[in-house]
Chains A and B, each alone.
Chain A
């Protein structure tokens, strides 16, 4: 008989291997299916809005002029959050990874992670009840002394429930994301490169600038983008803190609104065309988040050659 003896396998577990690879494939497909399902839901439900009479849409001037102010509001709130949280998060992460004594660093790391465990509604309540009244005093000062800047134009909100307060609350919320991701990356810096820098007479700061930060660059961008993703989509905290309204340039007056808060505040009473409107707003938020991620990936890939991966 001329059967190929190599086709007969004496090792067991071949079927186990197949089952496992099938399971991973299914898990991978499931993610895609969910993603496409959500996207399809958003598009189908939002469709009526594009054929509707512009005067029927909230504001009476079509979907474009309805969505534009809240897109800008969303971007302002998220940018404030990121501007505050990124440098702060990198600083905290560097302290934990390279400056703090080892025992202190560990406890401190847990503490920062704990910040992420606080529910967003609690942040919202804190921002509303504690932070906003405190900041209102500062806003009064800003309006008096820096009022010539459009972003600090008075009259300042008496309650402090402004887009700047919302941005600061968001910053506190995204801080643990940025910090813990950056810290993990900083800790992975090859000792080889840190020692290379130290051995030529670099101080600790110079070593961090020469070896740690370049190595962690892509990681920091991803951390910031993940933080931005949370800041863009955060609903409850903004809905509680911000006393929303029309788009204004001033960050210390009431006014402005974010997409997520707009949807949350209006969804329970919405039906018909209004419902489609809110879902279309959700679609816009989805597209913004997607764009942010694509841009982040592009930034990371631009310097691939110098990343040390080759």
Chain B
């Protein structure tokens, strides 16, 4: 499987309010795609439609298609639970389960649906996932301790470990570093670079340097004004978007002239 995502004519609504209008985008498999744009431009909303997490908000719905390797996520027979198992998500603020140990946090997704897993399999999965999230060396001696005792950056890497433990095809990250210090941010960015060898990564960020550092392709979203829907303005190779954008608004945004 190639794990690519193709979005066709997607409109996102909150009840009657059109939040994101007419997005067409092809997200390459095993690459990092960054969504940038000013606050409220709908990039997070759009990201959440990629694993149907926007449906958690009452009244949210979409028109159009999101295809994961050709299969429409919004087919009426598709269960959002299945979609979220294939397309994992990491949130803005680290959210390990406070009542669970580090080990149980990593295994939380695997233990869903009453899947049975032997202790030795669980042990190796915990180690593999935590190594995958560059956290193993820091926590290997305290796996039974609560996940909430870790630092913010470690917690966020724990959340990434938890997301990759269920072996998803795609990982969505919604401003994963916005609550972290620069050192932790660097650790996450290094990790994103390693993750793209196996997963398709989509990241929303407010930090343009970060988008430039980690992503292969960048999509710029913008809104015309308050109450207007967000739109995908320009999408292309990250170097092109930052150095030679085709649209004036993109250039203004990446050069810091507005937003």
Chain A residues close to B by CB (< 8 Å): 102, 190, 192-203, 206, 210-211, 214-215, 217, 303, 305-308, 310
Shortest Cβ distance from A267 into chain B, in angstroms?
47
- B99→A308 contact, CB < 8 A: yes
Provide the residues of chain B in CB contact with A201, threshold 8 Å.
Answer: 81-86, 109, 112-113, 166
- B81→A217 contact, CB < 8 A: no
Q: Which of B77-122 contact A (CB under 8 A)?
A: 81-86, 88-89, 91, 93, 95-101, 108-109, 112-113
Knowing A102-B58, A200-B163 are in contact, say whether A195-B82 is a contact too (CB < 8 A). Answer: no
Provide the residues of chain A in CB contact with B91, threshold 8 Å.
Answer: 192, 195-196, 199
Asked if B18 lies at the interface with its beta carbon under 8 angstroms from chain A, I say: no
- A196→B95 contact, CB < 8 A: yes
- A199→B98 contact, CB < 8 A: no
Knowing that A200-B112, A310-B148 are A-B contacts, what are 6 other residue pairs whose CB atoms are under 8 Å apart, sorted by A's residue number?
A197-B108, A200-B85, A201-B83, A214-B97, A306-B100, A308-B148
- B109→A200 contact, CB < 8 A: yes
Q: How far is the CA of A140 from the CA of B117 in the complex (A)?
A: 48
Provide the residues of chain A in CB contact with B99, threshold 8 Å.
Answer: 214-215, 217, 303, 306-308
- A310→B149 contact, CB < 8 A: yes
- B95→A192 contact, CB < 8 A: yes
Shortest Cβ distance from B76 into chain A, in angstroms?
18
- A203→B81 contact, CB < 8 A: yes
Q: How far is the CA of A210 from the CA of B159 in the complex (A)?
A: 15
Knowing A200-B85, A200-B162, A308-B148 are in contact, say whether A206-B95 is a contact too (CB < 8 A). Answer: no
Pick 12 A–B contacts, CB within 8 A, sort by A.
Answer: A102-B58, A193-B98, A195-B89, A196-B96, A200-B108, A200-B109, A203-B113, A211-B97, A214-B97, A305-B146, A305-B149, A310-B146
Residue of B nearest to A305 (CB): B146
Provide the residues of chain B in CB contact with A203, threshold 8 Å.
Answer: 81, 112-113
Asked if B218 lies at the interface with its beta carbon under 8 angstroms from chain A, I say: no
Contact residues of A: prevailing secondary structure: helix
Knowing A206-B112, A305-B146, A310-B149 are in contact, say whether A214-B100 is a contact too (CB < 8 A). Answer: yes
- B100→A199 contact, CB < 8 A: no
Q: How far is the CA of A190 from the CA of B108 in the complex (A)?
A: 17
Q: Which of B175-220 contact A (CB under 8 A)?
A: none
Q: How far is the CA of A303 from the CA of B98 in the complex (A)?
A: 11
Residue of A nearest to B55 (CB): A198
Provide the residues of chain A in CB contact with B108, threshold 8 Å.
Answer: 197, 200, 210
Provide the residues of chain B in CB contact with A200, threshold 8 Å.
Answer: 84-85, 88-89, 108-109, 112, 162-163, 166
- B51→A199 contact, CB < 8 A: yes
Residue of B nearest to A192 (CB): B95
Provide the residues of chain A in CB contact with B224, threshold 8 Å.
Answer: none
Q: How far is the CA of A211 from the CA of B56 in the complex (A)?
A: 15
Asked if B10 lies at the interface with its beta carbon under 8 angstroms from chain A, I say: no
Shortest Cβ distance from A192 into chain B, in angstroms?
4
Shortest Cβ distance from B175 into chain A, in angstroms?
13
Knowing A199-B51, A200-B84 are in contact, say whether A193-B95 is a contact too (CB < 8 A). Answer: yes
Q: How far is the CA of A13 from the CA of B38 in the complex (A)?
A: 45
- A202→B81 contact, CB < 8 A: yes
- A199→B84 contact, CB < 8 A: yes
Q: How far is the CA of A192 from the CA of B163 in the complex (A)?
A: 15
Provide the residues of chain B in CB contact with A214, threshold 8 Å.
Answer: 97-100
Provide the residues of chain A in CB contact with B109, threshold 8 Å.
Answer: 200-202
Asked if B53 lies at the interface with its beta carbon under 8 angstroms from chain A, I say: yes
Q: How far is the CA of A200 from the CA of B87 in the complex (A)?
A: 8
- A198→B95 contact, CB < 8 A: no
Provide the residues of chain B in CB contact with A303, threshold 8 Å.
Answer: 99
Shortest Cβ distance from A104 into chain B, in angstroms?
13
Q: How far is the CA of A192 from the CA of B89 in the complex (A)?
A: 12
Provide the residues of chain B in CB contact with A306, threshold 8 Å.
Answer: 98-101, 146
Q: How far is the CA of A196 from the CA of B53 in the complex (A)?
A: 10
Provide the residues of chain B in CB contact with A211, threshold 8 Å.
Answer: 97
Knowing A202-B112, A206-B112, A305-B146 are in contact, say whether A196-B84 is a contact too (CB < 8 A). Answer: no
Shortest Cβ distance from A187 into chain B, in angstroms?
14
Provide the residues of chain A in CB contact with B53, threshold 8 Å.
Answer: 195, 198-199
Provide the residues of chain B in CB contact with A310, threshold 8 Å.
Answer: 146, 148-149
- B56→A195 contact, CB < 8 A: yes
Selected from B56, B98, B101, B166, the residue in CB contact (under 8 A) with A198 is: B56
Provide the residues of chain A in CB contact with B83, threshold 8 Å.
Answer: 201
- A199→B148 contact, CB < 8 A: no
Looking at A192, A201, A202, A210, the one whose CB has the most chain B CB atoms below 10 A away is: A201
Residue of B nearest to A309 (CB): B98
Provide the residues of chain A in CB contact with B95, threshold 8 Å.
Answer: 190, 192-193, 195-196
Residue of B nearest to A308 (CB): B98
Residue of B nearest to A217 (CB): B99
Shortest Cβ distance from B125 into chain A, in angstroms?
14
Provide the residues of chain B in CB contact with A193, threshold 8 Å.
Answer: 95, 97-98
Selected from A194, A199, A215, A305, the residue in CB contact (under 8 A) with B88 is: A199
Q: How far is the CA of A308 from the CA of B172 in the complex (A)?
A: 25
Provide the residues of chain B in CB contact with A308, threshold 8 Å.
Answer: 98-99, 148
Residue of A nearest to B92 (CB): A192
Q: How far is the CA of A215 from the CA of B85 in the complex (A)?
A: 23
Q: How far is the CA of A55 from the CA of B255 in the complex (A)?
A: 97
